[in-house]
Amino acid sequence: MTETTVRIPTPLRPLTDGAADVVVEGSDVAAALGALGARYTGLLERVLDEDGALRPFVNVFVGSTNLRELDGLRTELREGDVISILPAVAGGGPA
């Protein structure tokens, strides 16, 4: 198995007992997120929908590349990869 660090955004840290970085094992992003979800109840539901697909308002990066530009949740991981979960931020219009 591959050890991977998952960077947790501030809004989700209450679900990880405040942890900003969590080390999990997984050969691909789906497995790593599954391990994260198994450890922290309620977290995975914020990232994936009921069909197991990435929610449209959540961006996930492996290194500096958006998961959607890679092989999605099946993107293979290498030892030391960093996964970053970034909720999309909606901006307001001009005042």
Q: pLDDT band at residue 95, thresholds of 50, 70 and 90?
A: low
40 Cβ neighbours under 8 A, 6+ residues apart = 15, 16, 17, 22
Q: What is the pLDDT of residue 66?
A: 94
Q: pLDDT band at residue 94, thresholds of 50, 70 and 90?
A: low
SS3 77: coil
CA distance 63 to 10: 18
Number of H helices, E strands in the chain: 2, 5
pLDDT of 28 higher than 80: yes
What is the tens place of the pLDDT at every residue in 30-60?
Answer: 999 999 999 999 999 999 999 999 998 999 9
The domain 3-87 is placed in CATH, from the list 3.40.50.300, 3.10.20.30, 1.10.10.10, 1.10.3720.10, at: 3.10.20.30
Q: What is the pLDDT of residue 92?
A: 52
**Tokens 């679900």 map to which residue?**
15
